[in-house]
C-alpha cells in the first residue's frame, strides 16, 4: 500500500485509473466512520448518501431517541414528588409541551447531521447524494453514472421489521420512525416487542403519561437481556409504572385506527398453539420487533453474493463472502454495520468501518465484538458487555471451568444514595481459574457510562484481579464497579 500526501488545497488522486480509491455506499455512522478514517489514511474517498446523511442513528435512532429520553426523563423526575421530597425539594404542577419536546429531538438530529456532513466535506470526502449499488468488480452505479473504485464498502444499514399481519400507518400504528416524531401522547399505547426499542419508548411514553401494554412473543419479558437483569428491570422499569404485559403471544393482526374515532385493534395468538387468545383495542401501537438489513438494492447479485435473510455475509475482517458458510472472499468488497448483522449498534458500525479501512490499507484488523458494550437508555439504564449469565454457565460447562460471579450494589454506594438512586446492581462474571472477565451487566444510574471501563478491560484482556487494584474516585458511581471487582477476589469494601 502506498500512502499519499494530500496536495495542498487539492483533491486526492486515485491510483490505477480508478475514480476513487474507496467508494462507500451508505452514510450512516458506519459509512461516516469509515470515510473519515479513509481520508485520514490518504485514500481518495467518495460516499453515496442516497440523500440520507447520518442514516438511522442520527435521523431515526440513537440521537432523537436520546433527546426524547432526556426530556421525558426530566418530566418523570420532576413529577416524582416522593423522590424529590426525600431530597428536600418540592416542585408543583410540572407541565410539558409535547411539540417542544418533539422539536428538541428533531432539531438535535438536524444539528448532528449537519456536523457529520461538515466533517466529511471539511476533510475532503466527496459526498454524493445518490443511491449506489454494486455493478461489478470495482464498479458502482451512482445514480445515472458509473464510478470506478479500487475498494468498495457497503454500509446500507437496516430498516424496521414489521411482522406479517401488522399494518403500519406511522400515525396510530407506528415503528420507531413514526414514534420518534412524537405526534401524540396516546392514553393507551401497546408496544409489540420488549427489546431495546420497546423498553426505551415505554420509558418515554409512561413518563409523558401514557399507559403501556407490552406484547412479547417469547415466554419472558425483555428476553434479550441477562435473565437476572431482566428480573430486576421488571421490578424497576415495569412494575412501578403504568405498564402491563403479555408474554408468549404474537400480535398476529394489527389494524390502524382513527384518532378520537376508531381504536387500533390488536389480535393476539398464542406463540405455540397459534390460537387466538385476546383482542385489544388501544389508542396507538408501536411495532418494535427488530430490524432487517436494507440490502435489497445493493446489487450484490452482480458479484455472486448469496445473502442470509438479507444480511451480507462477511468474515471477521469485514470482507464480503459469497455465502454465509462460504470460504470465498469477494475481492475489494467490504460490508459494515447493521447490514452484516454482527451487532446492530452505532458504535459497532463505526468500529467496523475503521477496521475495514485498516484491512484495505493492508493492516489486518478484526473488531473484538466480545468487547463491544451495549446500553439501553431507560431510567435507570441497563448496560452490558460480553456474555450473559446463561451463556457464561454454558461456556463454563463446555470448557470445564468454574464460573465466578460478584455483585456490587448501588444501595451501598454513597453517590447513588446522595442522588436518591440506590436501585440497581453491577455483576461481573469471570473464570475462577484465570480470572478472565466473561461478562459484566449493570442496571442502575448511569450504567451506560459505567460499562465503558469494563469494555476497555475486556478489550485489553485485563483480569478481574487487575481491575480490583485500580483506584476509583470517591464518591462516584464507579465505586459500584470497584466493589464488584474487589468482591470477585475476596477484598471486602464494606
Ligand atoms: C430507535 C432507535 C434507537 C437506537 N438507539 C441506539 C443507541 O442508543 N445506541 C446504539 O449504539 N445504537 C442505537 N440504535 C441502532 C443504530 O441506529 C444502528 O446500529 C446504526 O445506525 C447502524 O449504522 P449503519 O451505518 O450500519 O446504518 P444506518 O445508520 O442505517 O445508515 C445506513 C445509511 O445507508 C443508506 N443507504 C441504504 N442503501 C443505500 C444505497 N443503496 N445507496 C446509498 N445509501 C444507502 C440509508 O438510507 C442510511 O442512510 C438505534 C436504532 C433505533 C432504530
Ligand atoms: N440503546 C440501544 O443501543 C438501542 C436502542 C434501540 C435500538 N437498538 C438496536 O435496534 C435493534 C432493533 O431493536 P428492537 O427493540 O426492535 O429489537 P430487539 O431484537 O431488541 O427486540 C425485539 C423484540 O420483539 C419480540 N418480537 C418479535 N416479533 C414479535 C411479534 N410478532 N410479536 C411479539 N413480539 C415480537 C422479540 O422476541 C424481541 O423481544 C436492536 O438490535 C438494537 O441493537 C439499540
pLDDT in tens, 265-276: 999 999 999 999
Q: Is the pLDDT of residue 5 over 60?
A: no
* pLDDT at residue 13 in the model: 61
| C-beta of 29 in contact with ligand 1 (< 6 A) | yes
C-alpha count within 13 angstroms, C-beta hemisphere, residue 347: 10
Nearest CA to ligand 2 atom 6: 197
- CB under 8 Å to 484, separation ≥6 — which residues? 406, 407, 408, 426, 427, 428, 440
Q: What ipTM is given for this predicted complex? A: 0.98
Nearest CA to ligand 1 atom 45: 26
| C-beta of 195 in contact with ligand 2 (< 6 A) | yes
Of 12 and 386, the one with more pLDDT: 386
| C-beta of 194 in contact with ligand 2 (< 6 A) | yes
All domains of the chain in start order, with CATH = 20-57+105-159+292-367 (3.50.50.60), 173-289 (3.50.50.60), 372-488 (3.30.390.30)
Grade residue 492 by pLDDT with cuts at 50, 70 and 90: confident
Q: Give the integer Cα–Cα distance in Å for 221 and 463.
A: 33
pLDDT in tens, 172-206: 999 999 999 999 999 999 999 999 999 999 999 99
Q: Spell out the long-range contacts of 390-399 with Cβ–Cβ below 8 A and sequence spacing 24 or more.
A: 390/226, 390/227, 391/439, 392/429, 392/438, 392/439, 395/438, 396/431
* pLDDT at residue 459 in the model: 98
If you compute the radius of gyration of the chain from its CA atoms, what whole number of angstroms results?
24
Binding-site residues for NAD(+), in ranges, read 193-200, 216, 290
Cα 82 to averaged position of ligand 2 atoms, centre (Å)? 33
Distances (CA, A) of 353 to 25, 37, 284, 324, 334: 12, 8, 37, 20, 9
Mean pLDDT, rounded, of the chain: 95
- Which ligand 1 atom lies nearest to the CA of residue 33? 25
Pocket test for ligand 1, best of 23, 32, 55 (most atoms within 8 A of CB): 55
pLDDT in tens, 424-442: 999 999 999 999 999 999 9
For the chain, the residue count is 494
474 noted as active-site residue: yes
By the 10 Å C-beta count (0-12 exposed, 13-18 middle, 19+ buried), 302 is classed as middle
| C-beta of 62 in contact with ligand 1 (< 6 A) | yes
* pLDDT at residue 325 in the model: 72
Nearest CA to ligand 2 atom 12: 290
Residue 339 DSSP one-character state? G
Whether pTM > 0.90 for this model: the answer is yes
Distances (CA, A) of 486 to 226, 407, 466, 471, 473: 22, 10, 10, 11, 15
Cell of 477: 458511581
Q: Spell out the long-range contacts of 229-237 with Cβ–Cβ below 8 A and sequence spacing 24 or more.
A: 229/382, 229/384, 229/388, 229/427, 229/441, 229/443, 232/424, 232/425, 232/443, 233/199, 233/378, 233/382, 233/443, 236/380, 236/423, 236/424, 236/443, 237/199, 237/202, 237/203, 237/378, 237/379, 237/380
pLDDT in tens, 60-74: 999 999 999 999 999
pLDDT in tens, 129-138: 999 999 999 9
Q: Is the pLDDT of residue 11 over 70?
A: no
Cα 31 to averaged position of ligand 1 atoms, centre (Å)? 10
| C-beta of 268 in contact with ligand 2 (< 6 A) | no
* pLDDT at residue 326 in the model: 66
pLDDT in tens, 403-424: 999 999 999 999 999 999 999 9
* pLDDT at residue 10 in the model: 40
Grade residue 9 by pLDDT with cuts at 50, 70 and 90: very low
Identify the nearest ligand to the CA of 350 by its number: 1
Q: Is the pLDDT of residue 2 over 60?
A: no
Residues 104, 441, 472, 474: which is the catalytic one?
Answer: 474
Neighbours of 473 (CB within 10 A): 10
- CB under 8 Å to 489, separation ≥6 — which residues? 435, 464, 465, 468
Cell of 119: 466533517
| C-beta of 448 in contact with ligand 2 (< 6 A) | no
Grade residue 7 by pLDDT with cuts at 50, 70 and 90: very low
- CB under 8 Å to 176, separation ≥6 — which residues? 60, 61, 65, 160, 197, 201, 286, 288
Amino acid at each position: 500500500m502506498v500512502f499519499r500526501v494530500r496536495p495542498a488545497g487539492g483533491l486526492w488522486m486515485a491510483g490505477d485509473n480508478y475514480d476513487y480509491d474507496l467508494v462507500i455506499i451508505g452514510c450512516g455512522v458506519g459509512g461516516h466512520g469509515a470515510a473519515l478514517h479513509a481520508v485520514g489514511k490518504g485514500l481518495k474517498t467518495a460516499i453515496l448518501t442516497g440523500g440520507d446523511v447520518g442514516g438511522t442513528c442520527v435521523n431515526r435512532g440513537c440521537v432523537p431517541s436520546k433527546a426524547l429520553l432526556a426530556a421525558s426523563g426530566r418530566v418523570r423526575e420532576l413529577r416524582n414528588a416522593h423522590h424529590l421530597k426525600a431530597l428536600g425539594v418540592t416542585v408543583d404542577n410540572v407541565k410539558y409541551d409535547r411539540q417542544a419536546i418533539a422539536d428538541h429531538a428533531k432539531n438535535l438530529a438536524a444539528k448532528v447531521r449537519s456536523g457529520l456532513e461538515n466533517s466529511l466535506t471539511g476533510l475532503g470526502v466527496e459526498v454524493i447524494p445518490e443511491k449506489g449499488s454494486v455493478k461489478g468488480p470495482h464498479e458502482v452505479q451512482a445514480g445515472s453514472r458509473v464510478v470506478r473504485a479500487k475498494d468498495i464498502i457497503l454500509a446500507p444499514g437496516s430498516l424496521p421489521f414489521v411482522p406479517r399481519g401488522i399494518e403500519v400507518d406511522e400515525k396510530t400504528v407506528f415503528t420507531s420512525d413514526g414514534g420518534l416524531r412524537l405526534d401524540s401522547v396516546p392514553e393507551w399505547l401497546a408496544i409489540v416487542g420488549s427489546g431495546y426499542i420497546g423498553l426505551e419508548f415505554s420509558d418515554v411514553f409512561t413518563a409523558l403519561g401514557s399507559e403501556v401494554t407490552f406484547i412479547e412473543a417469547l415466554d419472558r419479558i425483555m428476553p434479550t437481556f441477562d435473565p437476572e437483569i431482566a428480573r430486576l428491570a421488571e421490578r424497576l422499569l415495569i412494575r412501578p409504572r403504568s405498564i402491563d404485559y403479555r408474554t408468549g403471544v404474537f400480535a398476529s393482526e394489527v389494524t390502524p385506527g382513527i384518532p378520537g374515532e376508531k381504536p387500533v385493534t390488536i389480535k393476539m395468538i398464542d406463540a405455540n398453539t397459534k390460537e387466538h387468545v385476546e383482542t385489544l383495542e388501544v389508542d396507538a401501537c408501536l411495532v418494535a420487533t427488530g430490524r432487517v438489513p436494507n440490502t435489497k438494492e445493493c446489487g450484490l447479485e452482480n458479484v455472486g453474493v448469496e445473502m442470509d435473510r438479507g444480511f451480507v455475509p462477511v468474515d471477521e475482517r469485514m470482507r464480503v463472502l459469497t455465502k454465509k458458510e462460504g470460504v470465498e472472499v469477494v475481492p475489494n468488497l467490504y460490508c459494515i454495520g447493521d447490514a452484516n448483522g454482527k451487532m446492530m449498534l452505532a458504535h459497532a458500525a463505526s468500529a467496523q468501518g475503521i477496521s475495514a479501512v485498516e484491512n484495505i490499507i493492508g493492516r489486518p484488523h478484526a473488531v473484538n465484538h466480545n468487547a463491544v458494550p451495549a446500553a439501553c437508555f431507560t431510567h435507570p439504564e441497563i448496560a452490558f458487555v460480553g456474555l450473559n449469565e446463561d451463556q457464561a454457565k454454558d461456556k463454563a460447562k463446555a470448557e470445564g471451568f468454574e464460573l465466578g460471579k460478584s455483585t456490587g450494589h448501588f444501595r451501598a454506594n454513597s453517590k447513588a444514595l446522595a442522588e436518591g438512586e440506590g436501585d440497581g446492581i453491577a455483576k461481573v462474571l469471570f473464570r475462577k481459574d484465570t480470572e478472565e472477565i466473561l461478562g459484566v451487566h449493570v442496571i442502575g444510574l448511569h450504567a451506560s457510562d459505567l460499562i465503558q471501563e469494563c469494555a476497555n478491560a475486556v478489550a485489553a484482556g485485563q483480569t478481574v484481579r487487575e481491575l480490583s487494584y485500580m483506584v476509583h474516585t470517591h464518591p462516584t458511581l464507579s465505586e459500584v464497579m470497584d466493589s464488584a471487582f474487589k468482591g470477585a477476589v475476596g477484598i471486602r469494601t464494606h
